[in-house]
């Protein structure tokens, strides 16, 4: 029987060696530091992980190294904001794995069940953030016991009690975008044909979950930018380039992990499918990442030039986005999730055997 496009692509990668160049230059000069409350956070995260998960799910959750992730993403946050932001990140990771990870996912081959899972999540998130839903939907929320959904509640309650309606709406919109794009991703992986690079790239802006985490930046900074600033074209551009830089770096550095799990609906394999060369695909992906970082600086400059209001808080937001980019990059080499180590990079080059 003829192999499917995915099977053929997986086979074409096996045993190949690729080199990821210029890792010492990517984000060079951008800030990177851990939150001083890292040790406290480690204790809290371990307690929460033990409480929420058992077996394989706990193993995978611990491999993420959530405390290191959170301390790098939000090094400027106070301990309470840091804790809540990290818990939100933990929720995203565990939730996404339920429909994506071949190691534990019970829903990745069942779109109908996935849709039900997403709908229940959507209702729970709305309720947690203080938005009104119907009595029937509230009953569904009250009866929800799936920890992969209900673990959002800790962050939801804290943000509901701390943030304005407009800023809670911003987070809610990003969660909705994440859920909708995740539904499309699951649908795409169940089709025979591979998505195009353009289709994947468009949808990845949502499935990355970066927007969800960026939506709590002001909460973590203890700032409150004017709505006109957060809704401006320059701010939207800054968000998009931050998002792009993070998911592109993630796709590049996670390629071995994804291929080991027979997953090829990611940037590098799809580029390799187009150009019929794995190394060319990696080089193009690195070029795309560099372009996103260059565009980030242009967006930041435009935002500062166009928005004289709350300039100090805008600078904090821009720096927070830089921290997010370097955090995701640095974290990737310090968690078991991707099987990478910083010492694997020699003279700015990471060599992988797929």
CATH code at position 220: 1.10.600.10
- C-alpha separations of 45 from 56, 148, 152, 154 in Å: 17, 16, 14, 13
In the chain, % of residues over pLDDT 70 = 98
- Residue of 207, 204, 251, 273 whose CA lies nearest to 7: 273
User: Residues 221-248: pLDDT tens digits?
Assistant: 999 999 999 999 999 999 999 999 999 9
Per residue of the chain (354 residues), give pLDDT as tens: 567 989 899 988 888 899 998 887 889 899 999 999 999 999 999 999 999 999 989 999 999 999 999 999 999 999 999 999 999 999 999 999 887 766 666 687 889 999 999 999 999 999 999 999 999 999 999 999 999 999 999 999 999 999 999 999 999 999 999 999 999 999 999 999 999 999 999 999 999 999 999 999 999 999 999 999 999 999 999 999 999 999 999 999 999 888 888 889 999 999 999 999 999 999 999 999 999 999 999 999 999 999 888 999 999 999 999 999 999 999 988 777 887 877 788 888 888 888
Domain tally, the chain: 1
Instruction: Map 273-312 to HEC letters.
Output: HHHCCHHHHHHHHHHHHHHHHHHHHHHHHHHHHHCCCCHH
Structural domain for 175, as ranges: 5-353
Torsion of CA 187, 193, 194, 197, to 10 degrees: -100
Q: In what order do the strands lie in the sheet with 345-346?
A: 17-20, 349-353, 345-346
- What's the predicted TM-score (pTM) here? 0.95
Tokens of 201: 């790239």
Per the listing, tokens 């985490």 go with: 213
* Angle of CA points 251, 257, 260, to nearest 5°: 130
- Asked if residue 167 lies in contact with residue 218, where contact means CB atoms within 8 angstroms, the answer is yes
- Asked if residue 255 lies in contact with residue 268, where contact means CB atoms within 8 angstroms, the answer is yes
Which residues lie below 8 Å from residue 87, measured CB to CB, with a gap of 6+?
Answer: 48, 151, 154, 155
The shares of helix, strand and coil residues in the chain, as percent rounded to the nearest 5, are 70, 5, 30
């Amino acid at each position: 029987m003829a192999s499917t496009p995915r099977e053929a692509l997986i086979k074409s990668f096996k045993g190949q060696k690729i080199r990821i160049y210029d890792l010492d230059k990517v984000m060079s000069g951008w800030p990177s530091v851990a939150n001083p409350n890292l040790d406290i956070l480690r204790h809290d995260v371990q307690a929460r992980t033990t409480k929420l998960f058992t077996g394989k799910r706990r193993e995978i959750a611990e491999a993420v190294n959530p405390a290191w992730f959170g301390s790098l993403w939000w090094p400027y946050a106070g301990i309470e904001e840091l804790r809540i932001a990290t818990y939100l990140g933990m929720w995203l990771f565990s939730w996404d794995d339920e429909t994506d990870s071949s190691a534990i996912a019970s829903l990745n081959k069942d779109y109908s069940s996935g849709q039900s899972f997403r709908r229940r999540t959507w209702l729970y998130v709305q309720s947690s953030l203080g938005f009104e839903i119907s009595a029937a939907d509230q009953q569904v929320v009250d009866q929800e016991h799936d920890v992969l959904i209900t673990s959002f509640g800790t962050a939801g309650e804290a943000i509901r009690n701390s943030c304005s309606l407009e800023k809670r709406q911003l987070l809610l919109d990003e969660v909705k975008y994440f859920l909708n794009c995740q539904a499309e991703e699951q649908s795409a992986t169940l089709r025979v044909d591979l998505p195009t690079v353009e289709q994947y790239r468009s949808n990845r802006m949502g499935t990355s979950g970066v927007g969800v985490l960026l939506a709590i930046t002001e909460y973590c900074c203890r700032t409150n930018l004017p709505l006109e600033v957060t809704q401006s074209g320059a701010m939207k551009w800054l968000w998009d380039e931050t998002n792009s830089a993070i998911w592109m770096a993630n796709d590049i550095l996670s390629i071995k992990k994804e291929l080991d799990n027979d997953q090829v609906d990611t940037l590098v394999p799809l580029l390799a499918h187009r150009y019929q060369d794995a190394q060319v695909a990696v080089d193009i992906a690195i070029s795309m990442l560099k372009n996103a970082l260059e565009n980030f600086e242009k967006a930041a400059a435009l935002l500062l030039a166009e928005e004289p209001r709350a300039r100090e808080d805008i600078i904090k937001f821009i720096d927070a986005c830089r921290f997010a980019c370097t955090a995701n990059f640095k974290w990737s080499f310090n968690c078991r999730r991707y099987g990478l180590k910083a010492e694997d990079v020699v003279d700015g080059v990471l060599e992988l055997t797929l």
